Copies of this chain bind each other. A is one copy, B any other.
Amino acid sequence: MTDVWVNGASMMPTGRHYNVNIDEMAARVLDEALRDAGNPQLDALFVASATSEQAEKQQLLGAYIASRLGLDKIATYRVENADGSGGAAIMAAAMAVRSGLYNCVAVVGADKPNDVLSNQQQDIYSTATDTVYERYFGVTPAAQAAIMAKLYLNKYEYKYEDLALWPVLMHKNGANNPYAYMRKQAKIEDVLESELVSDPLRLYDVGPMADGAAALVLCRNRGFAKIVGMWTSTSSRPFNMREDYDVLYSAREAAERAYAMAGITPRDVAVAEVHDSYSIFGVLAAEALGLAPRGQLLASLKAGADIKVNLSGGLKSRGNIMGATGVYQAVEVLWQLLGKAPFKRADGNIGVLHSMGGVDRTSTIVVFAI
């Protein structure tokens, strides 16, 4: 495929940013990413946000971000794929560059779930499920994740203690990431003793919702990294009609297509950031990306294997920045490939992100190379 180059990247620490509006957070990281890119002429802005409408009561977010920076006459678009908005926006932006219409575009992910109370956050989060066939009947993302966790653990003969290795690893990874929301180590006892959310999943299996913004500048001209493969796939299967509950169809399909486009195999992947809004999704996503055989990721963790997944701390520790998460993942993967602080340089030149919307409803895979 025609490469799309990354010329700039920026992110702000995740947290509870009560003192700054969503458009100002977005403008700040966009400004930084543009400076990182050498201040190119920007043709378009793609905004990824899952909370701007329901939490901020703001449509047309791109127009107001552009206003803050005086970016007149550029095109602006918001791309919403629920918590998978970030990956979808990167995909749409990269296609726009490939189309030849634009030389340089930016992707900004921005969300402030903490602008609303946690019951309202859950309300918003659940609007990523099928309103008619799931949400009205109380089938929450947590319940769906719990069902998938139970069936996975049972099928591959694991105990819950094995799944608990995921949040322990995430907290280990995130503890040293100054951009992370939950910067602390966690022992397996912390996980096992935490509140039960939806059997078997406990509080430590859930990525906490954090505020944040991250930005990328994508251009036709040479930058410090390039997008060599990308794909979005949506699973049409309703949850109750799935053939298997231990696989993320959308992630597997998108990964196969993106790898084929990039001409790589999973063995070429030096680092990956996956959407572990619940720890079981982290496990299933890593397997869908081919980073472990199906059913074997927890066995690898138990054997102490050094998996290069979610070195940021993932959604568990870095935080779930809703629709902005995919843009955070992009910056993390890029900085890992480059060895830019706070990340160590990856042992390879290929990094991958997995951005998921809903419970395996849509996934975008983006393959970066330096």
Contacts and interface: CB of A to CB of B under 8 A. Distances in A.
B80 A53 contact: yes
A21 interface: yes
Contacts of A253: 73
Given A98-B101, A99-B99, A59 B232 contact: no
Interface of A: 1-2, 21, 23, 44-45, 50, 53-54, 56-60, 62-64, 66-67, 69-82, 84, 88, 91-92, 94-96, 98-101, 123, 127-128, 130-132, 135, 231-238, 253, 357-358, 361-362
B127 A53 contact: yes
Contacts of A130: 64, 67
A131 B78 CA distance: 16
A129 to B, nearest CB: 8
A330 to B, nearest CB: 17
Contacts of A60: 80-82, 84, 128, 357-358, 361-362
A95 B37 CA distance: 23
Nearest to A250: B73
Contact of A234 (B57, B75, B357): B75
A221 to B, nearest CB: 17
B236 A71 contact: yes
A79 B81 CA distance: 9
Q: Please give the count of copies of this chain that the complex contains.
A: 2
Contacts of A73: 233-236, 253
B81 A80 contact: no
A131 B58 contact: yes
Contacts of A57: 54, 123, 127, 131, 135
8 contacts: A1-B101, A57-B131, A64-B132, A74-B234, A75-B234, A75-B362, A98-B99, A98-B100
Given A53-B80, A58-B131, A62-B81, 16 more contacts: A57-B127, A57-B131, A60-B84, A60-B357, A63-B361, A69-B236, A72-B234, A73-B235, A75-B232, A75-B233, A75-B362, A77-B92, A79-B80, A92-B92, A92-B96, A98-B101
Nearest to A235: B72
B100 A2 contact: yes
Q: Which 8 A-B pairs have the closest CB atoms?
A: A75-B232, A98-B99, A95-B99, A59-B82, A63-B361, A72-B236, A60-B82, A76-B234
Contact of A76 (B21, B64, B232): B232
A58 B63 CA distance: 23
Nearest to A75: B232
Contacts of A98: 98-101
Contacts of A236: 63, 66-67, 69-73
A320 to B, nearest CB: 14
Given A59-B127, A128-B60, A77 B81 contact: yes
Contacts of A235: 63, 72-73
A232 B362 contact: no
Nearest to A61: B80
Nearest to A241: B67
Contacts of A79: 77-80, 92
B75 A231 contact: yes
Contacts of A21: 132
A147 to B, nearest CB: 18
B232 A56 contact: no
Given A77-B88, A232-B44, A236-B72, A128 B358 contact: no
A99 B80 CA distance: 20
